[in-house]
Amino acid sequence: MDWMTWLQDWGDAFYPLAFIWAFFEGETFVIFGGMGAHLGIINLYWLVAAVWIGSFMGDQCYFWIGRKWGGKALARFPAAEARASRVLHWLEVYGVGFILAFRFLYGVRNIASVAVGTSRMPWRKFLFWNFIAAGIWAWSFAGAGYLFGEAAAAIGENGPKILLLIALGIGVTLFAVKSVLWVRRRYAASETQA
């Protein structure tokens, strides 16, 4: 079964799934939804609405987790605590710009809202800018998917498969680079301790 058949089979149930996926994470799901929108399988506006609200609500929940349990929760996970420290530095340097951008920064999205919750940023300010940022994110990735769908149509019948292979190749490459960087950091940390 290919992904287009899967989208057709799920029909209107795709939108709640997109909401849930965006609540936790999920550019890939949004991109595939955008491709489906280009093919007329998915309604682009409903897709954007679902992932906009899902992403917004997810990050609001993470913000409140940070506000309520922040330091205690982060202290239990040293790697998360280190990333949260970087997030707080970026928040201090870039302010609202960071809130608008963190969804696009790999490895930061899930911890960013928790970390911002530990900061002194007023919750109303985060609420407002988080809503704007979630909209930018939703339109960016749904639009990218729509354009991928257009490119697939231009390539022809095998277009979706070719673009899927390209996307998988990019994903594998990013995973490999991330893994190499992780191994290097671990090795450097063990050398420092020795």
Residues 46 and 18 in one domain: yes
Q: What residues have CB less than 8 Å from 169, skipping those under 6 apart?
A: none
- Do 110 and 194 lie in one domain? The reply is no
Instruction: Please indicate, yes or no, whether residues 112 and 179 belong to a single structural domain of this protein.
Output: no
Per-residue pLDDT tens digits for 17-50: 889 989 987 788 898 889 889 888 889 999 999 9
CA dist., res. 120 & res. 122, Å (int): 6
| Cβ(143)–Cβ(52) below 8 Å | no
Helix (H) or strand (E) holding 23: helix 14-24
The model's pTM: 0.76
Indicate the number of domains in the chain. Answer: 2
Burial of 110 (0-12, 13-18, 19+ CB in 10 A): middle
Q: Residue 87: which residues within 8 A CB-CB, separation 6 or more?
A: 98, 102, 108, 111, 112, 115, 116
pLDDT in tens, 81-120: 888 888 999 999 999 999 999 998 877 887 899 999 999 9
**Torsion 174-175-176-182 (CA) sign:** positive
Residues of the domain holding 186 = 163-194
Whether residue 188 is found in the same domain as residue 103: no
Same-domain check for residues 99 and 70 = yes
Q: Are residues 114 and 140 in the same domain?
A: yes
The Cα 14–Cα 116 span in angstroms is: 31
Residues 168 and 115 in one domain: no
Same domain, 51 and 113: yes
Residues whose CB is less than 8 angstroms from the CB of residue 79 and which lie 6 or more positions away in sequence, other chains included: none
